[in-house]
């Protein structure tokens, strides 16, 4: 009973103080309890605990707006639609381009795969034209080399018997050397032809894979997907259930940027600040008394929900931001209202 009388006296005193625009922070409640109780009074603005700014970046004309300020909306409810006629035409055109590109890609895959199969078959069956020509050249070079070796051997024997001159022997020796060089060149050409044929097969294998996965087609499909997502986003919906507190979108205007604000008006909070010399007297979970500046004389119950661990930057005095949750149901508080928060401190 004593506590009820004290709180009543506190609220009466604070109402008088507010009427005089007094900013008392350590208020004497009752002379009888001057040594027992202290009131900390701070101010703050009412906010919603849940608020969403609803944007669009499509840059399309607003076709219809279905809500107005004060309407309650549900999560997923359509708030407005944008004119998508040009976007729908672009989607049809993009799909046609993709289909054309897909047909071209399939033809390229077919041609590349055919060339790959032919090159692989020629390499495995030894029917590659370049390799066959190189082998023929090597066979001819081997015949010439063998002939040159036999001639040289014969002329060397004749030279040893004195039947031919040294000059004639040297001619056969030069011919043998030329035949040896030609044979080595033919062998190198055959080796190169085989290596080139193998490289051609691997290159065609890679081309088949590249043709099957067309980079252009992937890019075009990504563009189409973005267009289709934009078409879905042309229905502007609410991400939460709550009350529409702002309507910026206008029918016939360009839809870009902020369009709506939806807030939960049933769950409110007040952001305020406490000075450093009051921190030792308060803590989270403490009950507070909230009075609006509307002058209706009503007081509501709240609770300190959070006190920042670090002081606010840029303040001329050391203050710590705090969040007060409104506990009283169905209050007369409205978002944006200025309020006075009073905390009775017992000693």
| Strand partners of residue 55 | 258
What percent of the chain is helix, strand and coil (3-state, nearest 5)? 50, 25, 25
Per the structure, the complete domain to which residue 63 belongs is given by: 53-83+234-262
Residue-wise pLDDT tens digits, 45-82: 999 999 999 999 999 999 999 999 999 999 999 999 99
Residues 202 and 241 occupy one common structural domain: no
Together in a domain, 192 and 311:
no
Residue 128 resides in a domain: yes
Q: Is residue 135 part of a domain?
A: yes
In this structure, the answer to whether residues 144 and 218 fall within a common structural domain is yes
Same domain, 255 and 272: no
The CATH number linked to 69 is 2.40.50.100
Q: What is the largest CA-CA distance in the chain?
A: 153
Complete DSSP assignment for 61-93: EEEEE---TT-EE-TT-EEEEE--HHHHHHHHH
Residue 212 domain-assigned (yes or no): yes
Q: Which residues pair with 38 in a beta bridge?
A: 345
pLDDT of residue 232: 93
CA distance 154 to 256: 99
> Would residue 62 count as lying in a domain?
yes
| Residue 111, in any domain of the structure | yes
Q: Are residues 256 and 273 in the same domain?
A: no
Collapsed DSSP state (helix, strand, coil) of residue 172: helix
> Do 157 and 182 share a structural domain?
yes
At 35 the pLDDT is: 41
136 and 161: one domain?
A: yes
Q: Which residue has the tokens 């406490």?
A: 274
Q: What is the pLDDT of residue 18?
A: 42
- pLDDT in the model for residue 347: 57
Do 257 and 180 lie in a common domain? no
Residues 303 and 243 in one domain: no
Low-confidence spans in the chain with pLDDT less than 70: 1-37, 215, 295-296, 346-347
Q: How far apart are CA 212 and CA 95, in angstroms?
A: 19
Is 76 part of any domain?
A: yes
Instruction: Find where tokens 């670090």 sit.
Output: 310
Q: Give the whole-angstrom CA distance, residue 308 versus residue 304.
A: 11
Phi and psi of 208, rounded to 5°? Answer: -60, -45
CATH number of the domain encompassing residue 306 = 2.40.30.170
Q: For residue 215, what pLDDT is reported?
A: 62
Residues 116 and 188 in one domain: yes
Q: Which residues have CB under 8 Å from 268's CB, separation 6+?
A: 46, 47, 48, 49, 325, 326, 331, 333, 335
Both 102 and 214 in one domain: the answer is yes
Does residue 253 form part of some domain?
yes
Axis-axis angle for helices 129-160, 166-212 (nearest 10): 170
DSSP annotation of 27: B
pLDDT value at position 126? Answer: 87
d(CA 152, CA 179): 11
At 314 the pLDDT is 80
**227 domain residue, yes or no:** no
- If asked whether residues 244 and 160 sit together in one domain, one would say no
User: Residue 291 — φ and ψ, nearest 5°?
Assistant: -125, 130
Q: Total structural domains in the chain?
A: 3
């Amino acid at each position: 009973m004593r506590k009820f009388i004290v709180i009543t006296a506190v609220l009466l005193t604070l109402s008088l103080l507010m009427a005089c625009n007094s900013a008392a922070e350590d208020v004497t409640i009752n002379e009888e309890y001057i040594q027992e109780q202290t009131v900390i009074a701070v101010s703050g603005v009412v906010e919603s605990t849940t608020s969403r700014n609803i944007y669009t970046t499509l840059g399309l004309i607003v076709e219809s707006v279905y809500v107005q300020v004060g309407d309650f909306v549900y999560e997923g409810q359509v708030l407005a639609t944008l004119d998508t006629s040009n976007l729908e035409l672009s989607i049809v055109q993009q799909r046609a381009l993709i289909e054309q590109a897909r047909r071209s890609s399939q033809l390229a895959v077919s041609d590349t795969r055919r060339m790959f199969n032919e090159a692989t078959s020629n390499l495995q069956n030894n029917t590659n034209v370049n390799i066959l020509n190189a082998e023929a050249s090597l066979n001819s070079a081997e015949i010439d080399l063998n002939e040159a070796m036999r001639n040289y051997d014969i002329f060397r024997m004749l030279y040893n018997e004195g039947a031919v001159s040294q000059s004639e022997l040297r001619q056969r020796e030069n011919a043998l050397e030329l035949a040896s060089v030609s044979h080595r060149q033919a062998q190198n050409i055959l080796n190169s032809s085989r290596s080139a044929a193998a490289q051609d097969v691997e290159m065609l294998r890679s081309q088949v894979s590249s043709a099957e996965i067309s980079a252009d087609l992937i890019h075009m499909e990504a563009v189409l997907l973005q267009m289709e997502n934009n078409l879905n986003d042309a229905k502007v919906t609410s991400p939460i259930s709550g009350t529409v507190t702002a309507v910026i979108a206008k029918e016939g205007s360009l839809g870009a940027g902020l369009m709506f604000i939806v807030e939960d008006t049933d769950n409110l909070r007040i952001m305020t600040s406490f000075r450093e010399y009051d921190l030792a007297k308060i803590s989270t979970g403490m009950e507070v008394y909230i009075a609006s500046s509307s002058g209706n004389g009503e007081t509501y119950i709240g609770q300190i929900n959070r006190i920042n661990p670090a002081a606010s930057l840029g303040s001329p005095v050391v203050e710590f931001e705090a969040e007060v949750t409104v506990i009283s149901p169905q209050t007369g508080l409205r978002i944006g209202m200025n309020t006075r928060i009073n905390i009775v401190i017992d000693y």
